[in-house]
Amino acid sequence: MVNEHRSTSRILDILEMLASATNGYTLTEIARQIDAPKSSIFPILHTMLERHYVSLDSNSGRYSIGVSTFAVGSTYMNSKSLLSHLNAGMNELVDVCNETCSMGVLDGSNVLYVSKIDSPQSLRLVTRVGKRIPANCTALGKALLSRRSYDELKEIFPEKMSACTKYSITNLDKLYSEIEKVELNGFAYENQEFAEQILCIAVPISRNGNIVAAISVSIPSFRYDEKKLEIVKSELKKLKLRAELILRNYNGEVSI
């Protein structure tokens, strides 16, 4: 693998940090988070400030995304459809993990699959774009529901929940307990609840504080181990950041 250019990597690390920040970061916070000395970061920030890729609040000393970054991002977003940008990231994830990656949105009490990149391996989860699956049976569904209150869950599932396998969660209290864990650790898990011998990990994708989609990786149980889990989680975190950055710069209504 080609070694990354250190200064360029730091510029991109700074942009990715600031893109996901609500109130910006100070020089000290930036240096600590990307593990670099302030003396190295300051001239980079100074140049980015001069060219308006970052802005600086002189009162708080906090840096935020600048207008030049927004202009570049807006131009890029206008060149392709939103879904094609997200699919590109999903393809890259599959290249690394060799497992199927899916994207879904909430449609009532179901997950609607809107995109899917198949694993190159012959044994894999078989689903299709346009398919609807009970949200309580999937990691995607748990991720999509992860900020819902107990009362909201009761409205979404007013009747008995559907089951896909003997492992499916059909109890509201248990489902609520599962989605609370997503808020705590950032990941939703599925253990043979949609298809036997298939495990799945998902992350929610947010825009302006609202969950608009979720992305998952499905793994046959015989290929699942701790090493695979850590690789998948790492790649999902990267894709989540990328997707939310794309959505942040997207000017139109989100209709994935």
Q: What is the CA radius of gyration of the chain?
A: 20
What pLDDT is stored for residue 62 in this prediction?
92
State the fold for domain 6-77: Arc Repressor Mutant, subunit A (1.10.10)
Banded pLDDT at 1 (limits 50, 70, 90): very low
- Distance, in Å, from the CA atom of 220 to the CA atom of 124, rounded to the nearest integer, reads 6
Banded pLDDT at 125 (limits 50, 70, 90): low
- Tell me: pLDDT of 251 over 80: no
**69-122 confidence digits (pLDDT tens):** 766 765 554 545 667 778 888 899 999 998 999 998 888 899 988 888 887 776
Least confident of 85-94, 163-172, 176-185: 85-94
Banded pLDDT at 19 (limits 50, 70, 90): confident
Q: What backbone torsions phi and psi does residue 112 show, to the nearest 5 degrees? A: -100, 120
* pLDDT, average across residues 175-196: 92
Q: Nearest 10 degrees: CA dihedral of 193, 218, 141, 128?
A: -100
SS3 string, 126-172, reads: CCCCCCEEEHHHCHHHHHHCCCCCHHHHHHHCCCCCCCCCCCCCCCH
What pLDDT is stored for residue 49 in this prediction?
92
What pLDDT is stored for residue 176 in this prediction?
94
What pLDDT is stored for residue 118 in this prediction?
86
**192-228 confidence digits (pLDDT tens):** 999 989 999 999 999 888 898 999 999 998 888 889 8
- Tell me: pLDDT of 188 over 70: yes
Looking at the domain that runs over 80-249, which CATH code has it been given?
3.30.450.40
Each domain of the chain, given as residue ranges in start order, spans: 6-77, 80-249
What pLDDT is stored for residue 79 in this prediction?
46
Banded pLDDT at 28 (limits 50, 70, 90): very high
Q: What backbone torsions phi and psi does residue 206 show, to the nearest 5 degrees? A: -115, 150
